[in-house]
Amino acid sequence: MAVIKFGGVEENVVTRAEFPLEKAKSILAGETIAVLGYGVQGPGQSMNLRDNGFNVIVGQRKGGKSWDKAVADGWVPGETLFDIEEACEKATIIEFLLSDAGQMQVWPQVCRHLTPGKALYFSHGFAITYSARTGIVPPKDVDVILVAPKGSGTSLRRLFVQGRGINSSYAVYQDATGKALDRTIALGVGVGSGYLFETTFERETYSDLTGERGTLMGAIQGIFAAQYDVLRENGHTPSEAFNETVEELSQSLLPLVAENGMDWMYANCSTTAQRGALDWWKKFRDASRPVFEELYESVKNGEEAQRSIDSNGKPDYRAGLEAELKDLRESELWQAGKAVRALRPENNK
């Protein structure tokens, strides 16, 4: 484990150079890892563990699309694919990767199989951080641990197949066995993390909920929509407005920012773009900061958690979600995006 220092803060990080795959496999030898859920994170984590040579099974509700998807991905019913309770019974480590609402629903089934010495693994701290709202309180004689990839399960799998990795945070909430940290890091390596950085369940939850509602999804969509609308209202065509708002950012600039940083981007653009960016970025920061402060407080005081729990628990949740997504999908911004993507060379052969 290495210690790095940013902004006067020391952080514990683990790289694959100091914690290689063979070490991870040695630590988890004899363990049976059950991945519960085959939706967002389940497929990527379970397949990466399988390809890395760990003893892994999948627990999923029978009869649904996710069960069929698991079968299509090579999981064999009765051998490596089971219903949730049977998978929990067989496992020594339970990866609880159902949605937050799904975790609350099946918790009574899972909890009865958390016998002493097992490990309960999360990839999001929501259930534990808001345990008073979720009702998920693990017994004291099991390890409670977290590895949270900083990206979608699709990206986790894609980068793994490419021989790369996605950064993940890790945390130990409860160490009942004395080996919780080793189990955590080994699992982080096993699921395909590029490197791991330390957090807590609470900090992971607060940063994750803020990020999803902020720059990762909510804020970026709001900024896209605002700029696109201003360009359209001033006579720019849908194609031009979309290219200047989304396409150039996602296809050209963000990959370079990821490789070299925003400071490099500023130093390597035209002098006109450089001057404008330097003049305007602080105005956008100052305008958006109050929104982020309001957002963080809403996360911290539990309002966002309760809103999610209440919304996801409604019987018509899926129908309402589809209506909201339909509005987004059929907006001119993303219809223009669909048309522009179709014109990319790889889609126009």
Burial of residue 168, with CB atoms counted within 10 A of its CB: 0-12 exposed, 13-18 middle, 19 or more buried? buried
Q: 209: which 2 tokens?
A: 């909920």
Burial of residue 61, with CB atoms counted within 10 A of its CB: 0-12 exposed, 13-18 middle, 19 or more buried? middle
What single letter denotes the amino acid at residue 54?
F
| CA distances for 241 relative to 33, 235, 333, 344, angstroms | 48, 9, 8, 16
By the 8 A CB rule, do 176 and 184 touch?
Answer: no
By the 8 A CB rule, do 111 and 138 touch?
Answer: yes
Cα dihedral value 2, 206, 28, 111, nearest 10: 160
Residues 6+ apart with CB under 8 A from 189: 16, 19, 20, 21, 23, 24, 196
By the 8 A CB rule, do 153 and 43 touch?
Answer: yes
124 is catalytic: yes
Closest listed residue to residue 265, CA positions, set 248, 289, 245: 248
CA–CA dist 139, 246 (Å, integer): 47
- Scanning the structure block, which residue is given the tokens 């958390």? 114
CA–CA dist 149, 192 (Å, integer): 9
CA–CA dist 129, 56 (Å, integer): 27
Q: Check 50, 118, 124, 232 and give the catalytic one.
A: 124
Q: Which residues are catalytic, by number?
A: 124
